[in-house]
Amino acid sequence: MILRDPVHGLIAFESDEERVVETLLDTKEVQRLRRIRQLGFASLAYPGAEHTRFSHAIGATYVMKRLLARLRELDRSIAPEHRLNPQLTRDALAAALLHDIGHGPLSHMFEGTLPRSEPHESWTKRIIQDPNSQVNKALTNIDPEMPSRVTQLIAGQHPFTYLAHAVSGTFDVDRCDYLLRDAHATGVRYGNYDLDWLQRSLRFAPPPPDGTPPALAVDGAKGMAAIESFILSRLFMFQQVYLHKATRAAEWMVRTILRRAVHLISNGANLPSVPQAFRTAAIGQTPSLDQYHALDDTSLTTALHEWEECADPALADLCKRQRARKLFKTISLPNHPNAQRRIDMITGIASDITEKAGLDPKIYLGIDVATTTPFDGNEDNLLVVFAKGPPQRPVDVSFILGCIDAKELRRTLLIVAPEVRNDILKAIDAPT
């Protein structure tokens, strides 16, 4: 199988071991990823950000293929029993392709909105291990134990640590692809880094004394600049794309819409075009896998469109605003540790102004707090090796990584209806 990709160019999966990719691509669970956008509502700020989880899954699998080729070049330095074999190769490729198989619609914002909602990692595990899923059947036809091994890899718990960390770790194939892909789609070049040099700089760390497989490492003399570029790319993409104020406002609006819909459904309202998985979750039950499989961006946005004519004025209004891109506005709030008193004061003022305008503050006003830690040396699983001396952690070698180690990037926004924004700004004497 040969594909053209806007990020990696020509992508080919042609060997016997790589046939698992083509087999899995034909399953309905993987094809569903075509109907889920990678960045949710980021296209409201970056018009090109229309790419899907499907294209990202293929890209991550290709990055894994390249990584496996690099590991084979290095395997003379490790014990024969720790080297790649056809089974490990197939498992790693399958894990890379399936790592997002359980993702819900509208990117990460869907998680945590519904009662008893589960993270996408839990759905991924359920889909792979369910005997009735096409993914499970495809894997089981290759090896009955393959679903279990692939699940382990995705969870980062595989005995071969260098493969587990390649699927789920600081420098995993997921991040390696989405940074480049998201940067390409949004036109934000800050996400670019040198993937070629990063993979070329990889080494195996010295084998552990307990005889377990070694971890991955990077050549300290050649690879630190690539590692630093990778981490800074992730930091910059959070600053410029993932935490963009228009995206956060849109996500906040849709969360409010969904929670309002849950409230109405749980109280007996008959909303139109409600996806069955959503209705099941709204009454506090866990959707079946078939119901979840039918849930995607299209089914959910269709429901939001239909709700524009529902009997609930607030739900109808929010849905109309969202589809017309009449987004709520944002006001930056202070982030320092002693800011809570100031935030409470601003929120109180904004609530009074919103209520006087005839809008329910519980629906038309909110606080959005977004946080991420671009790099944490205590959680990092990649070592730095030199010609002499013991391996070291990247944070202990790099001045740049030492400066941002465990630092939290935090943005706090007051989300307000556009018609009251200016009044709130005047009342709190905030800069425009």
SS3 per residue for 57-126: HHHHHHHHHHHHHHHHHHHHHCCHHHCCCHHHHHHHHHHHHHCCCCCCCCHHHHCCCCCCCCCHHHHHHH
Q: Give the CATH number of domain 2-242+375-407.
A: 1.10.3210.10
* CA-based torsion, 65, 66, 69, 75: positive or negative: negative
Distances 68 to 11, 43, 199, 324, 360 between C-alpha atoms, Å: 15, 34, 10, 46, 55
- For the cut 60, the answer to whether the pLDDT of residue 198 exceeds it is yes
In this predicted structure, what is the pLDDT of residue 432?
A: 42
**281, 114 in Cβ contact below 8 A?**
yes
Q: Give the whole-angstrom CA distance, residue 412 versus residue 199.
A: 36
Region 171-200 average pLDDT: 94
**The model's pTM:** 0.93
Range with lowest mean pLDDT among 164-173, 186-195, 374-383? 374-383
- For the cut 60, the answer to whether the pLDDT of residue 430 exceeds it is no
Exposure letters 216-252 (e unless 16+ CB within 10 A, then b): bbbbbeebbebbbbbbbbbbbbbbbbbbbbbbbbbbb
Region 249-278 average pLDDT: 93
In this predicted structure, what is the pLDDT of residue 17?
A: 94
**Residue 368 main-chain phi, psi, to 5 deg:** -115, 120
The answer to whether domain 244-325 has CATH 1.10.630.10 is no
**217, 391 in Cβ contact below 8 A?**
yes
* pLDDT digits 0-9 by tens, 284-341: 888 999 999 999 999 999 999 999 999 999 999 999 999 999 999 999 998 877 888 8
**Among 395, 421, 392, CA closest to 406:** 395
Region 13-40 average pLDDT: 95
Residue spans of the domains in the chain: they are: 2-242+375-407, 244-325, 328-373+409-432
- Tell me if 2-242+375-407 shares its fold with 244-325: no
Region 135-148 average pLDDT: 96
